[in-house]
Chains A and B, each alone.
Chain A
Amino acid sequence: MKQTRTEILPGVHLNHIQTDKFKIAVMSISMLAQLDRENASMNALIPFVLRRGTAHYGDIEKISNRFDELYCANIDPIVRRVGEIQCIGLMASYPEDKYLPEGEAVAQDTIDLLCEMLINPATRGGLLIKNYVESERKKLADIIRSRINEKGSYAITRCIEEMCCFEDYSVGRFGSAEDCEAIRYKKLTQQYHTLLETAPIEIFYCGSQPSKTIAHWLKDALCTMPRGEINYEIGTDVRMNSVEDEPRIYTETLDVTQGRLVIGFRLGECMEDPDKAALSMFNTIYGAGVTSKLFVNVREKLQLCYYASSSADSHKGLLFATAGIDFDRFEEAKNEMLHQLDEIRNGNITDEEMAYARKGICSDLASMQDSQTAMESYTISNILDGWVVTPEEYMELVQDVTKEDVMAIANSVVCDMIYFLRGEETEDSENTVCIKEEEPSC
């Protein structure tokens, strides 16, 4: 599938894939902003407020009815953190016209609705509607507080907050519940206009329409969008070394039956000139999937846990290894997880492990092309890295990764924080903080 990229309006790029493969077409519009504590919650709130009503479809019921009329078209808010860049926007998906009953067509109408939602929201006196802002900020604050419901992802988020407490990365894609609740509708309207005028905008489309048609529809629908000087000064600050010489240890107690261990690492000097293919090989061998060292050793051989895995953020240069364990097996699990990293550092990597990792990554890249949303996030992520390679090119790069490349990454990795979420009845270390509902700020 051929992908093109054109600037259709000042600072507005259309990334276009034309294909007849799918029954659904997908379009996303993302505004890019620097992630910082001051604006994160406001930025995150904007698409949720936009989703509440447009100039023509003034409330949620009218919008939902319009979606139904468009044969289950859908538009959802997007709020992402890619490194320290916040991507805020809307994603539409709708059935391709050729699958609808004769004479019916929804493609252009849905794109018009998407654009209207972005640039022409329901307002009163030129301001976003107070009631919508207040209702959505409460809901967003609740979403942020509900992070605690899923203990596995909560533990990783908390590890990031503690480990990166001096960096904007720790702010999270939604910002904090407190900041969110403090948002006022006038200030939010200002921030919305600033974003609309100055944010670089990336549009992604994957569907059956040619790029000329899509560009034409978009230019028409966005012609009244005010654009000023575009702020391209956005990026991610990568810290190479750990904050202290020895890894910091942080224990948190909560009413849980299973402990969650998260080890946070800096990817280190390899981030000077990141080799994404080698990084994904390293992460796959260390902790992604059932042939990984963490799964095979921590879960299968030592039976320390139900899950053990790792994930890497190549934008910010971080690696997290995580496991769900019994409280009293903390030391054992931690040591084994670190030991498995040492194994890679020392070159104890079999040819089979290399081959499985290669196959796994290439298979993921091939199947990604069967999913429009997966291609969307791949595209946006690559653009933000300024690293534009097709999945096919990526596969070739993966073939060239050597054992030494993987060892080099492992040797560059530095442990920065060991975070443990455990149950309540404990008389533990001085670092223990008791958390009930509120999350502490750094």
Chain B
Amino acid sequence: MLITKKEYKSVGEYLYSGELENGLKIFVIPKQGYNSQYAVFGTHYGGAMRRFAIDGETIDTPAGVAHFLEHKMFDMPDGSNALTTLSENGADANAFTSSDLTCYHFSCTEHFEENLRILLQFVSTPYYTPETVQKEQGIIAQEIQMGDDSPGRQVYYDLLSLLYAHHPIKDAVVGTVESIAEITDQTLYHCHRVFYAPSNMVLCVEGDVNPERVFEIANEVLGSERKSIPQADFGEKESDLPLAPYKERQMPVGMPEFLIGEKISNGAKDTEEPDGKSILLQRLTAGLALRLLAGASSSFYTRLYADGVLTRDFDVEIDYAVGTATMIIGGQSPDPEKVLQELLSEVDRIREKGFNKAYFSRTRKAMIGGQLRGLEDFDGTCVSLLADAFDGFCTLDVIELLPQISRQACEQWIADTFKPEKLAMAVIRPLTEE
């Protein structure tokens, strides 16, 4: 078991990383002087991975299995519930499922090693019965309904269904009341066997811990057998264009919520032999370019904010998941059409004039400060390390790569990416009186 220790001198952090014989990747950031320890154990399996091939066989599953599994993983064969056990031990535990990840995590201030064992143990112990599955269908149906009442979630899926024709990323991770009704204990056993092999998983820990002990414990609990990794199938490549440019619906909201989006390059396709660092550099360039264009200090945002067209609730981001990359810009606005129109004129202006030099260097400084800020968040740092490990790079390398990004590369990214015909917009409007 080889553990690599890397120092990130400028930010005063060390990262211990390595891979067990069973294929599990482990990352540990020791933090002296902190009371809490955080651990996240996650599998490369999420709501969009409904069709997959393993050992030569292709399998289709109903929507919502990954999330359903997440709910049922806490049940243990002795009748106990791991969430309760961890909680009884003073740990604050939870789990979440995204389109390509299922993560189980806890934070605690005592009994870290014991809690880590419980975490590793319960996530690798499948136990489902027809009765417990049926019971959970009721609880998840309530969760689905709760999501139906959330404008933020509705506008997000409306946008994705404008952008993606068939890629399962466009469907809700939780599934539908109908699709989860098809799930049986056997579906869960099968998907657990396929996706919860250590070779398909990552463990990240941050806090005042001994890194070697984390590796030892994981090795003890999980065994050394290395299993094959499933290949998810997302169907044919999607066109660059959206299905339709616009969709709106009405809900009880205070003011319109909107998202503008576009399918963009995920960084991996653009290099002949993509290595982790080149993908990361490409993603950082995209992130910085987008921040320069429409971030909190951009003339685009500050002008529209001053004019009352944008509010404090406004965000720009790129979501990378299951081989897709989606640029998403949005928030609340009394006039979403105006935002879109202004965005396009801003892009034209950048195409013509580029970014101001001083503005570029200020924004890059802010990115450096932002990285420091991010490091205070154990949860965010560990989940990024975990997600990025599946994409083949390390989040902390950002610190070294940031100074390498050039203004020209950002300008080029804007020019290449923004095409009016590729953009789509979803809007939720307040209910109108009948």
Contacts and interface: CB of A to CB of B under 8 A. Distances in A.
A370 interface: yes
A142 B109 contact: no
B10 interface: yes
A22 B90 contact: no
B299 A363 contact: no
A360 to B, nearest CB: 6
A287 interface: no
Interface in A88-108: 93-95, 99-101
Interface string B124-136: 0000000000010
B34 A370 contact: yes
Interface in A282-314: 289-291, 299, 303, 305-307
A194 interface: no
B88 A356 contact: yes
B366 A67 contact: yes
Output the residue of B11, B90, B91 with the most chain A CB within 10 A: B90
A315 to B, nearest CB: 24
B408 interface: no
Nearest to A23: B372
Given A71-B366, A324-B146, A370-B35, A23 B252 contact: no
B33 A146 contact: no
B340 interface: no
Interface stretch (A57-65, A166-174, A237-245, A377-385): A57-65
Contacts of A127: none
Interface string A382-416: 00000000000000000000000000000000000
Interface in B21-61: 33-36
B70 to A, nearest CB: 14
B430 A437 contact: yes
Contact of A149 (B33, B254, B303, B312): B254
B135 A147 contact: no
Contacts of B65: none
Interface residues of B, number: 69
Interface string B83-118: 110011111100000000000000111100000000
Interface in A18-75: 21-24, 59-61, 64-65, 67-73
Contacts of B148: 257-258
A142 B369 contact: no
A149 B35 contact: no
A366 B297 contact: no
A147 B313 CA distance: 13
Contacts of B243: none
Given A64-B296, A68-B366, A257-B148, A436 B431 contact: yes
Given A93-B373, A290-B84, A437-B431, A99 B308 contact: no
Output the residue of B150, B254, B313 with the most chain A CB within 10 A: B254
Given A146-B253, A258-B142, A356-B87, A67 B34 contact: no
A149 B151 contact: yes
Contacts of A370: 34-36, 378
A253 to B, nearest CB: 11
Given A61-B302, A148-B253, A289-B87, A73 B369 contact: yes
Contact of A359 (B90, B139, B255): B90
B39 to A, nearest CB: 14
A26 B369 CA distance: 14
A149 B142 contact: no
A430 B367 CA distance: 57
A193 to B, nearest CB: 25
B305 interface: yes
Contact of A255 (B34, B108, B252): B252
B87 A257 contact: no
A326 B365 CA distance: 50
B109 A367 contact: yes
B266 interface: no
A362 interface: yes
B149 A258 contact: yes
B370 interface: yes
A68 B362 contact: yes
A258 B140 CA distance: 12
Contacts of B35: 366-367, 369-370
B433 interface: yes
A22 B13 CA distance: 12
A99 B371 CA distance: 11
Contact of B34 (A21, A70, A325): A21
A255 B89 contact: no
Contacts of B33: 21
Given A64-B302, A324-B142, A24 B376 contact: yes
Contact of A303 (B12, B138, B151, B307): B138
A151 interface: yes
Interface in A213-254: 254
Contacts of A307: 146
B255 A146 contact: yes
Given A24-B373, A290-B87, A370-B35, A68 B109 contact: no
A135 interface: yes
Nearest to A48: B312
A367 to B, nearest CB: 4
B184 interface: no
A23 B431 contact: no
Interface of B: 10-12, 33-36, 83-84, 87-92, 107-110, 135, 138-140, 142-143, 145-146, 148-152, 251-255, 257, 296-297, 299, 302-303, 305-308, 311-313, 332, 334, 359, 362-363, 365-370, 372-373, 375-376, 378, 430-431, 433
Interface of A: 21-24, 59-61, 64-65, 67-73, 93-95, 99-101, 135, 138-139, 142-152, 254-258, 289-291, 299, 303, 305-307, 324-326, 352, 355-356, 359-360, 362-364, 366-367, 369-370, 436-437
20 contacts: A23-B373, A23-B375, A65-B297, A68-B363, A71-B372, A95-B372, A99-B12, A139-B312, A143-B311, A144-B254, A149-B151, A151-B150, A255-B251, A257-B145, A257-B148, A258-B149, A303-B135, A359-B89, A363-B90, A366-B110
Given A71-B365, A356-B88, 15 more contacts: A21-B33, A23-B12, A68-B297, A68-B362, A93-B373, A101-B10, A143-B254, A146-B254, A149-B150, A149-B257, A151-B146, A258-B146, A307-B146, A363-B109, A366-B35
